[in-house]
Amino acid sequence: MITGKHLISGEWLAGERTFRSEPYRGIGREYAQGTAADVDQAVRQAVVAFDSFSRTSRRRRSDFLNSIATKIEHNRARIIEICIEETGLIESRVSGEFTRTVNQLRYFASYIADNANDDNRHDTALPDRTPLPRPDLRMIQRPVGPVAVFGASNFPLAFSTAGGDTAAALAAGCPVVVKGHSAHPGTAELVAQCIEAAIVETSLHAGVFSQIQSSSFDAGQALVTHPEIKAVGFTGSLGGGRYLYDLCAARPEPIPFYGELGSINPVFMLEQALAANASGLAKEWVASLTFGAGQLCTNPGLLVLPQSDATESFISSARDEISQAGEQVLLTESIAESYRQGYQQLDSCADAVVVQRAHCGRRSVTPAIFRTTAKAWQQNEFFSEEVFGPLGQIVVADTTEDILTLARSLQGQLTCSIHCQEQDSGIAKQLLAIVEHKAGRVIFNGFPTGVEVSDAMVHGGPYPASTNFGATSVGSLSLRRFLRPVCFQNVPDAFLDSIDS
């Protein structure tokens, strides 16, 4: 049953004020509107929980994550039902995200159980070293403290209540306070109920997890400025993320803000690759561009092509393919409005030629493609801004140097992709040398949609793709965001047993 309440340290609490959800289907429900007092109560309980949770064994935290996964699996039908109702996402998309959410919880559970000394270091004592002896030094990664996590509009499961940031923080030994996203509060509550049940089953302190519902910035602002919050995980817009990032930096004690803020994910298709398979690549690009109504942070919104006969064939095939895509539902009315504004700005630009025109409704849109030149793209700053949704820009470059110059002008990206064949290797190598400094993930002969949860994955990139390009929000390395190295000098083993297990 959905109560519309906050979960604060094991208690379901109503609020004096409420907001009404706006589901794609069905009737909206009333949810408690989070306040600074709610946030303070949740964070203070997280501080109490941190004392014990930070010293739990890796095995116990692993059991906790596995228990969350099991509880979520047991409620699969209801969670998917409400998620579809709220977001308008198709069942296959939600089902796939549900499976990913469960799998990444189990992935972190397995990782911490099997890597007991991950990146811990030990320099043994050298008492006889001259001219000075060396003490015994142990560097151990320790949890930072209570972590704030913001639910993402476009990933109601995998990047929200029990998503990657929450799973990584809990795996690291940090209590979590989630600010649920107002686009899918019912989904958030159902998942929070599963986490609560797992806390009870594993006999952990109830303050290990809390969730505050909110449709305004007030709760989020109170959360990131609370003096006991030690790190923030965020997936969302550049504007909202930058606002919260600045709040974190302006605190008396600045804290890290791990924000993933969006990307246009450039795809470079080189001449021989196009000549070999123009129509096939067009079909694959359109499928990637329109997947999930283009509401993915890895959506390939920018395509750079050389001027050639194969390029014209590609564009013709892409237009034919995307014209069959039909109407797609966006997550919220505000996202649809942003898509409409981005589309209209491009449509009114003399340097942008419409390849496929869009229809923009209240919450449903059709995909669009625009075409421009490399020189025009660099002269119009708004071309480089993300239009969240199924909109693609094709840039046709006259020369190899135009392609390389455009690559050099790119801002930070989550991904950059290069399609090439052996005959393209000269320019491909030059491009690789440029884009490795522009993105967190470089892809050859593929498209960026789909992010593997694994040890080697990097989901982040130079600003504005993310606010900390040395971090990733996906994969085992994401745990490091919520750990800090502590050096223990000449500390007896008996004292370390409880924190290095």
Q: Output the pLDDT for position 262.
A: 85
Whole-number Å distance between alpha carbons of 103 and 115: 18
Q: CA 152 → CA 102, 165, 166, 168, 261, distances in Å?
A: 17, 11, 12, 16, 11
| Of 382, 348, 15, 357, nearest in space to 211 by CA | 15
Whole-number Å distance between alpha carbons of 81 and 156: 12
Whole-number Å distance between alpha carbons of 306 and 374: 10
Burial class (CB in 10 A: 0-12, 13-18, 19+), 26: exposed
Task: Print pLDDT tens along the chain (501 aa).
Answer: 999 999 999 999 999 999 999 999 999 999 999 999 999 999 999 999 999 999 999 999 999 999 999 999 999 999 999 999 999 999 999 999 999 999 999 999 999 999 876 789 999 999 999 999 999 999 999 999 999 999 999 999 999 999 999 999 999 999 999 999 999 999 999 999 999 999 999 999 999 999 999 999 999 999 999 999 999 999 999 999 999 999 999 999 999 999 999 899 999 999 999 999 999 999 999 999 999 999 999 999 999 999 999 999 999 999 999 999 999 999 999 999 999 999 999 999 999 999 999 999 999 999 999 999 999 999 998 899 999 999 999 999 999 999 999 999 999 999 999 999 999 999 999 999 999 999 999 999 999 999 999 999 999 999 999 998 889 999 999 999 999 999 999 999 889 877 766
Count Cα neighbours of 467 within 13 Å in the Cβ-side half-sphere.
26
Whole-number Å distance between alpha carbons of 211 and 191: 10
Tokens representing 311 are 């390029």
Do residues 252 and 285 touch, judged by C-beta distance below 8 A? no
Residue 90 neighbours by CB distance under 10 Å: 14
Q: Output the pLDDT for position 26.
A: 92
| Of 266, 274, 303, 313, nearest in space to 421 by CA | 274
Active site residues: 260, 297
Do residues 260 and 481 touch, judged by C-beta distance below 8 A? no
In this structure, what are the phi and psi dihedrals at residue 206, rounded to the nearest 5 degrees? -60, -25
- The DSSP letter of residue 463 is T
Burial string for 115-145 (b: 16+ CB within 10 Å, else e) reads eeeeeeeeeeeeeeeeeeeeebebebbbbbb
State how beta strands 30-32 and 18-20 pair. antiparallel
Q: Output the pLDDT for position 73.
A: 98
Count Cα neighbours of 63 within 13 Å in the Cβ-side half-sphere.
11
- What is 80-108 written as a DSSP string? HHHHHHHH---HHHHHHHHHHHHHHHHHH
Coil vs helix vs strand at 73: helix
How many residues in the chain?
501
H helices present in 369-419, as ranges: 374-379, 400-409
| Of 3, 7, 10, nearest in space to 39 by CA | 7
Whole-number Å distance between alpha carbons of 123 and 475: 28
Tokens representing 3 are 């109560």
Q: Output the pLDDT for position 256.
A: 97
| Of 152, 153, 156, 151, nearest in space to 95 by CA | 156
Whole-number Å distance between alpha carbons of 334 and 290: 19
Tokens representing 377 are 């793209």
Do residues 264 and 301 touch, judged by C-beta distance below 8 A? yes
**pTM score of the predicted model:** 0.96
Q: What is the pLDDT of residues 259-309, one digit of tens each?
A: 999 899 999 999 999 999 999 999 999 999 999 999 999 999 999 999 999
